[in-house]
Amino acid sequence: MADTLSDLSQEAKAYWAKDQWGAYRNVRYETAEHERRRGMGERAAYLYLEVMIFDLQGVTGATNGQKFNRAYQRETPSVAREIARFCRREEIDLDELKSMYRRVARKFWVDAFPRSRAEVWAHLRERVEDHRTTLRLREKVSAIGPDRLLSSEKAEAFARRANDYEVLQRVGTLLEGEPPAGIPWPKRKRAHEYLSSVDIWSIGERWRGKAFRWAGEVVLANGETDAAMTYLEKARAVVGRDERAEVERLLGTLRREFNGQER
């Protein structure tokens, strides 16, 4: 690794000299992002490892007094995710990652760090592996198509690890092309499980409308007409313009077939 202390930017060296570790960490993160964007994946990975070490030490932005705080000892998800992506792309195993970590630690370890190298490595390894598992699941989900389902165990792991928008995208893929009242049982069971894992009030209105629409279609396929109409009416209130006509058409059909009048 060419990245020795003498190779630090002038700004980073100034912060290092003043023990301003929070500011130093931020400069190194910006440098890692720059190197990643210009295609220097290995150099970026070493920089991200350095940043993650500071994060797991609980670095603060204080210029005097307490520079590390136990309450802040956690990774920045984007940093751990980029390390995981590099490891996955370059087929870096845990032994190789540990070697990279040790190389960074030798060059950039600070005497004021409150945690040991072994403790930080154990935490770093766990978090990077967690993100690598998430990447594997996302790739598997993207590759399987709408007519194949993950095992229940993997589907549960995907719903737990993916964000709400990724889960909803998978629901949309599963239900695409299926008639609302005739969704096959395995698909509607899986769609129901995915929809149940989503925090409906934390997502944007457009996606909330989609979630309500798909929930309506799933319960309709289960024969729950009243519940389907309730979901579809919620969908109509927030769904995007391109989908509103379809929701209204489905609502009209249900009213005529099952109720015979406006609700």
| Rounded Cα gap, residues 235 and 149, in angstroms | 26
* Angle formed by the axes of helices 205-221 and 164-175, nearest 10°: 40
Q: What is the mean pLDDT of residues 113-131?
A: 95
Task: Give the pair of three-digit tokens for residue 94.
Answer: 């845990």
Q: Which domains does the chain have, with CATH numbers?
A: 5-140 (no CATH), 146-259 (1.25.40)
Q: What is the mean pLDDT of residues 143-171?
A: 89
pLDDT (0 to 100) of residue 260: 52
Question: Cβ–Cβ contacts within 10 Å for residue 134, how many?
Answer: 19
> 263 pLDDT band (50/70/90 cuts)?
very low
Q: Which tens digit of pLDDT belongs to each residue from 230-242?
A: 999 999 999 887 7
pLDDT (0 to 100) of residue 55: 96
| Rounded Cα gap, residues 58 and 188, in angstroms | 44
What does pTM read for this prediction?
0.68
> 6 pLDDT band (50/70/90 cuts)?
very low
Task: Give the pair of three-digit tokens for residue 70.
Answer: 């136990």
| Rounded Cα gap, residues 243 and 106, in angstroms | 57
Quote the mean pLDDT of the chain. Answer: 89
What residues contact 83, with CB distance under 8 A and at least 6 apart? Answer: 45, 48, 49, 52, 97, 128, 131
Task: Give the pair of three-digit tokens for residue 132.
Answer: 């690598």
Q: Which tens digit of pLDDT belongs to each residue from 72-112?
A: 999 998 999 999 999 999 999 999 999 999 999 999 999 99
Q: Are 195 and 218 within 8 A, CB to CB?
A: yes
Task: Give the pair of three-digit tokens for residue 89.
Answer: 């792309």
Q: Are 172 and 214 within 8 A, CB to CB?
A: yes
Q: Which tens digit of pLDDT belongs to each residue from 205-253?
A: 989 999 999 999 999 999 999 999 999 999 999 988 778 888 998 998 8
